Structure 1
Amino acid sequence: MPMPASLTLNDLRTFVADGVLIGRGLIPDGLLHPAAHLVDAWMREHYDPTRLTAYTNQTFAPDLAGHPALLGLYNDSGLHPLVTRLLCPAPTTPLATAQIQIRLPNGAKQSVKAMHVDGVSCPHLHPEDLNTFTLIAGVVLSGSATGDAGALHYLPGGHRRMARYFAEEWTRGQAAQTPDDIARQDGTALTARPGDVIVMHHLVPHRVGINTSPVPRVMAYFRIRHADHPRLAEAALTDPWLEYPGLAALAAENRTSS
């Protein structure tokens, strides 16, 4: 069943505890199919295999990043009000781009991403740079719904460990993206079908592996930022709820009861 745009208290508590919510069938076919066909056409007509590493590290179909059919997956579906409710009453920066990630089929020679959080100590960034955000929303465009088909793997509750890591162990400019106890975990596979979505706190560690299925796994991701994120970004690494003022009380309640 689709996740309601008006989240229940239990949904909010799940997000506070896990840092993740999954919505089944949240994207209607009228939005899903045009976006999927757009990416499929790009793969057939414009994909350059010599740029596979760059695509994997950043985005496939970079020239489509601002296409209305891709942005509509977020702006015109139940995904936008869902995210708005999680961040309420904080304003967000208007969404301008989508990221497309494709895990090629049949175990293609594609780099395997280890557990990480985005925008911190990334190999393609200067070590001192931060390119973080508040929340990521992912839409499954196509692919098999099995854990070994290039699925995203995430660590429920890992945002709490990562906040401690950034507060106590990490220094800006170091190469390690996660502590050893996080890096060696496999995480939970997102076994999802086209039209399903995942909404994930920026601090939740995640990775993606090889696609052993015969079909590509295609995801559209949207990075959502608090309107004041440039000022709050470094502090938000150690305070998971700094940019989620409406959830701060629930998070404090969880800490008190644990």
Structure 2
Amino acid sequence: MSLTSHQRLAYQSDGAVIRRGFVSAHLVARAVELIDEWYRRSMNPAELVSYTQRTFAPELGSHPDLLALFTDSGAAELAGNLLGAYAPVRTVQVQIRVPEAQLAQPQPIKDMHVDGVACPHLDPTELRTFSLLVGVLLSEVSDPAQGALRYVPGGHLTMADWFSREWRQGVTQQTPPHVAANEGVPLLGAPGDLLLMHHLVPHAVGPNHGTSPRIMAYFRVSHVDHAGRRLDALRDPWLDYPALIPPARRARQDRP
């Protein structure tokens, strides 16, 4: 299983590709059943901030029925198609945007950011970066106001330039002002839709004004060499993507 040449070009330019209906219905149903049971029986409203910053359903982080969304759906093969060799994926992040009408206090929003860089709940000198974000929609999202993920197409190139020229480790600013002000493109779709997004693409999420929880499962995939070159990967969007190095740059590298 692989991306088409058109999808690879789209990933190079936009930093994101969406495959509609990619994850089979039976894999989605098993995952939704698990998360729905946790949501109804085990979610602690007092932990809403912690869940939002890290993961909902932390007890299910390594459950095989959730990991199967990546390992058994074909998503793992697509990740390899983009990155080549990558480190084992052993955990899932579950992100739920709870309907505002069901909350005693608002759920924290997430401004435009790049994961693992200058997170408000982390030491600003700490980097928890990776290479590729794989997301699986587990609920219908037909309106941006339903807590849709919003991302900036092409933002991976903008952010790499900013990390190279202006940003320094320890800075608490998450994105340059013109990116922070960008509303982004909402990810709308149906259960089973798959998102492949470059780690450097800035994204945000706001309140869910709908009537049902918005549920997504995320997998953070790292090139096998990423951990030893996190700073370099922030400044070079293709360092972890050897198969996607632009032809002009590859030609320069191949010159004797």
Say yes or no: does 1:99 pair with 2:93.
Answer: yes
Deviations 1:92-145 (A, max 9, x none): 111110000000114541111100000001111111100000000000111332
Distance 1:251 1:160, change over 3 A: farther
On the 8 A contact 1:144/1:215 being kept in 2, the answer is no
- 1:256 aligned partner: none
- 2:229 aligned partner: 232
TM-superposed CA distance for 1:53, in Å, is: 0.3
Say yes or no: does 1:20 pair with 2:30.
Answer: no
Distance 1:184 1:34, change over 3 A: same
TM-superposed CA distance for 1:9, in Å, is: 1.1
Residue from 74, 79, 102 that aligns with 2:75: 79
Equivalent pairs: percent with the same residue? 47
Deviations 1:221-242 (A, max 9, x none): 0000011111121100000000
Displaced runs of 4+ in structure 1, greater than 6 A? none
Describe the SS at the equivalent of 2:190: coil
Partner Cα distance (1:160, 1:251) in 2: 16
- 1:140 aligned partner: 137
With structure 1 as the length reference, what TM-score do the two structures score? Answer: 0.93
- 2:254 aligned partner: none
On the 8 A contact 1:146/1:192 being kept in 2, the answer is no
Partner Cα distance (1:147, 1:251) in 2: 38
- Structure 1 stretch 244-253 or stretch 169-178: which is displaced more? 244-253
TM-superposed CA distance for 1:252, in Å, is: 4.2
Unaligned runs of 5+ in 1: 254-258
- 1:188 aligned partner: 185
TM-superposed CA distance for 1:36, in Å, is: 0.5
Distance 1:110 1:85, change over 3 A: same
Q: Which amino acid aligns with 1:246?
A: A
Distance 1:209 1:58, change over 3 A: same
Equivalenced residues, count: 247
Residue from 107, 110, 113 that aligns with 1:110: 107
User: Map of 1:48-63 to 2, 5 A cutoff?
Assistant: 48-63=44-59
User: Map of 1:217-228 to 2, 5 A cutoff?
Assistant: 217-228=214-225
Residue from 169, 173, 176 that aligns with 1:176: 173
Partner Cα distance (2:138, 2:17) in 1: 18
Describe the SS at the equivalent of 1:207: strand
Q: Which amino acid aligns with 2:88?
A: P
Describe the SS at the equivalent of 2:112: strand
Aligned-residue CA RMSD (Å): 1.2
Partner Cα distance (2:7, 2:186) in 1: 20
Partner Cα distance (1:13, 1:236) in 2: 20
- 2:160 aligned partner: 163
Deviations 1:41-74 (A, max 9, x none): 0011110000000000110001100000000000
Say yes or no: does 1:244 pair with 2:241.
Answer: yes
On the 8 A contact 2:25/2:192 being kept in 1, the answer is yes
On the 8 A contact 2:151/2:186 being kept in 1, the answer is yes
Distance 1:115 1:184, change over 3 A: same
Partner Cα distance (1:251, 1:232) in 2: 23
Q: Which amino acid aligns with 1:124?
A: H
On the 8 A contact 1:135/1:225 being kept in 2, the answer is yes
- 2:253 aligned partner: none
Partner Cα distance (2:221, 2:198) in 1: 10
Partner Cα distance (2:25, 2:157) in 1: 36
Q: Which amino acid aligns with 1:181?
A: H
